[in-house]
Amino acid sequence: MHRIISVVVATALKRNSVGLHLCCTMSAVSSLVPARFLTLTAHLVIVITIFWSREHNVKACLPLDFTQEQYDDEDMKLVVGLAVTLGLFAVELAGFFSGVSMFNCSQGLLCILYTDSVGPS
């Protein structure tokens, strides 16, 4: 019985390969665009939150008895990292809203993986 079902499915796929490809592509695009938008929005919220709580984040990475020079050095590193993050985020957001990368599924998947894996730390 399993053999008959697999033959029927294989025949149907050969006959309707274009329709199946379009169906799978459309469902991937329709689920990929909202996922990208949500990850971009979450990334922006996290970066803004880190900017607002910058003093606490800098103190958390310093030893208990730190000097003002150490604090200023770590604060500058955090500001530079967050500024680069916001700059690259603006480029990614412009690409998303302009449609350059929105309808290219592989580019969209790479952007989602990048946004989820790279964090401002």
Write the pLDDT tens digit of every residue in 41-87.
888 898 889 889 999 989 998 999 999 999 999 999 999 988 888 88
SS3 78: helix
Condensed to tens digits (0 to 9), the pLDDT of residues 80-111 reads 988 888 888 888 888 888 877 666 677 667 76
Largest CA distance in the chain: 77
Residue 39 reports pLDDT greater than 50:
yes
User: Packing angle between helix 17-52 and helix 105-117, nearest 10 degrees?
Assistant: 30
Residue 5 reports pLDDT greater than 50:
no
Q: Which tokens belong to 33?
A: 């665009």
Distance CA 43, CA 116 (A): 8
**Domain regions of the chain by residue span:** 28-117
User: Cα–Cα distances in Å, from 33 out to 29, 46, 71, 94, 115?
Assistant: 6, 20, 41, 14, 14
Distance CA 83, CA 29 (A): 31
Per-residue confidence (pLDDT) for residue 4, from 0 to 100 = 41
